[in-house]
Amino acid sequence: MSDVVAAINLLQEHYYVSLPPFIHRAAVAALTGPQDCVDELTAVYERRRDLFVVGVRDAGWPVDVPRSIFAWLPIPGHQKSAEFADDLLTRARVAVAHGHWFGEHGEGYVRVSLLAPEERLREAVARLAAFSRSTGDLL
């Protein structure tokens, strides 16, 4: 039995504690090498963010420009974030994360991922705009 425990400890050390040297070299290369791909990806995410923010603002949603890959949309009225997220999914076919999943300050908001391709974000914005027109109770 002690042989099994020793083998598990050795595996754990190599997989979870001490990264192998080739991983260290890869990290150094990624951090000190050309950053063109990082700049390109940043530009893609900025376009997606801007497309989404302009679209939902045009639909009447007061949203701050996110500083991450997620946008937080305030929900109208006194509805709970879970109920509102369910309404969006059912009626607008837009999936969002309930704000309460992210702690006490998340309630009153839903979180939208901006990682989808631009065309999908345009579609989501159009659906959110139609939803807000149909409900008439947007902020």
Q: What are phi and psi of 124, to 5 degrees?
A: -65, -45
43 vs 8, residue with greater confidence:
43
Mean pLDDT of 94-104: 91
Sole residue written with tokens 């997606």? 48
pLDDT digits (tens, 9 = 90+) for 30-47: 999 999 999 999 999 999
Q: Using pLDDT thresholds of 50, 70 and 90, give the confidence band for residue 19.
A: confident
pLDDT digits (tens, 9 = 90+) for 73-98: 999 878 899 999 999 999 999 999 99
Predicted TM-score (pTM) of the model is 0.74
* 3-class secondary-structure state, position 138: coil
48 vs 137, residue with greater confidence:
48
